[in-house]
């Protein structure tokens, strides 16, 4: 009895490992999809004129010999790079936000409206692929949880295992395509987007890394599920051969 329970326990460990990886992938994908930190960077913008008594390095100070005269001459002391200030921004699939100068908070705009018209179709395909990715991950999680709690015939468990493996692999492929399409759209927006948005420097943010971590967990869950299915099939074949061999021995040497 002891050796027979070892493969069953090993199968349960593999099923729980696949479920844990798939669940992590689902959580990471939802977090990344709903956040706006796929890309982060800075924008170089001209400093506004200082208003009233406002002082500091984030606005341009000027001297006026006659503040009430219509022909007053303004002398701007800032030259070159001193005229500009860097504003931090972050962008995601849904919207892009940048910090305000001399004010608290951020100003956000829809990222879809910033995308060049020729690339909006690709962005929408990326959004649809991301939604399908999340939906298939959720389906795979449900199937894996049903398989773990299912105590009927082993054949039914194998069917659920095979279907969850196919769903998880398909989810991983969709996630990879969605991430790559968004990367292409963002780079095109950097080059061809509106002048008042184009970044001076930028790099990928934590959401982008989380999205690819979700993909890695998804593929690891798929490999674990396929491995469990293959191992179960091989064990069945091995048991069948042993059973056939024992029948042949009994047929050759029947008990008297």
Sorted by where each starts, the structural domains of the chain and their CATH numbers stand as 11-51+82-233 (1.20.140.150)
Highest mean predicted confidence (pLDDT) among 85-94, 150-159, 217-226: 217-226
Lowest mean pLDDT among 134-138, 157-161, 244-248: 244-248
Q: Is the pLDDT of residue 191 over 80?
A: yes
Specify which residues 39 forms β-bridges with. 91, 204
What is the predicted pLDDT for the residue at 73? 43
Enter the tokens of residue 145: 């949880």
Edge-to-edge strands, sheet with 39-46: 106-110, 95-99, 84-91, 39-46, 201-204
Angle between helices 206-252 and 2-34 (to 10 degrees): 160
Q: Which residue has the tokens 């962005």?
A: 123
What 3-state DSSP class applies to 9? helix
Q: Where are the alpha helices (DSSP H) in 108-205?
A: 111-114, 120-148, 154-192
Q: Tokens at residue 63, please?
A: 């001297």
Between 247 and 73, residue with greater pLDDT: 247
**Which percentage of the chain shows pLDDT scores above 90?**
39
User: Which residues neighbour 194 within 8 Å (Cβ) at sequence distance 6 or greater?
Assistant: 114
Query: Does residue 241 carry a pLDDT above 70?
Result: no
pTM score of the predicted model: 0.75
What's the average model confidence in pLDDT over 150-162?
71
Categorise residue 56: left if φ over 0, alpha if ψ from -120 to 50, beta otherwise. Answer: left
Record the tokens describing residue 159, joined without a space. 């069917």
Please answer whether residues 195 and 162 qualify as being in contact, where contact means their C-beta atoms are separated by less than 8 angstroms: no
Q: Could you give the CA distance from residue 234 to residue 197 in angstroms, rounded to a whole number?
A: 58
State the chain's mean pLDDT as an integer: 79
pLDDT score, position 106: 83
Q: What is the mean pLDDT of residues 9-15?
A: 70
Asked if the model's pLDDT at residue 250 lies above 80, the reply is: no
pLDDT at 177: 95
């Amino acid at each position: 009895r002891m050796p027979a329970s070892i493969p069953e326990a090993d199968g349960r460990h593999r099923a729980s490992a696949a479920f844990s990886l798939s669940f992590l992938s689902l959580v990471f994908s939802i977090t990344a999809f709903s956040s706006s930190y796929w890309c982060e960077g800075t924008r170089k913008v001209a400093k506004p004129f200082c208003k009233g008594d406002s002082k500091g390095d984030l606005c341009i100070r000027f001297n006026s010999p006659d503040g009430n005269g219509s022909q007053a001459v303004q002398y701007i002391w800032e030259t070159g790079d001193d005229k500009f200030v860097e504003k931090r921004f972050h962008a995601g699939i849904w919207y892009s936000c940048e910090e305000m100068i001399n004010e608290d908070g951020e100003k956000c705009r829809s990222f879809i409206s910033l995308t060049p018209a020729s690339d909006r179709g690709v962005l929408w395909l990326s959004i649809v692929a991301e939604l399908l990715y999340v939906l298939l991950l959720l389906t795979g999680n449900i199937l894996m949880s049903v398989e773990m709690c299912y105590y009927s015939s082993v054949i039914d468990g194998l069917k659920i295992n095979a279907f969850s493996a196919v769903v998880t692999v398909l989810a991983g492929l969709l996630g990879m395509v969605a991430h790559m399409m968004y990367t292409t759209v963002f780079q095109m927006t950097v080059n061809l987007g509106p002048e008042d948005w184009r970044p001076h420097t930028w790099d990928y943010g934590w959401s982008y890394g989380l999205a690819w971590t979700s993909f890695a967990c998804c593929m690891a869950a798929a490999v674990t599920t396929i491995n469990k299915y293959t191992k179960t099939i091989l064990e069945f074949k091995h048991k069948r051969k042993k059973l056939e061999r024992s029948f042949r021995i009994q047929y050759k040497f029947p008990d008297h």
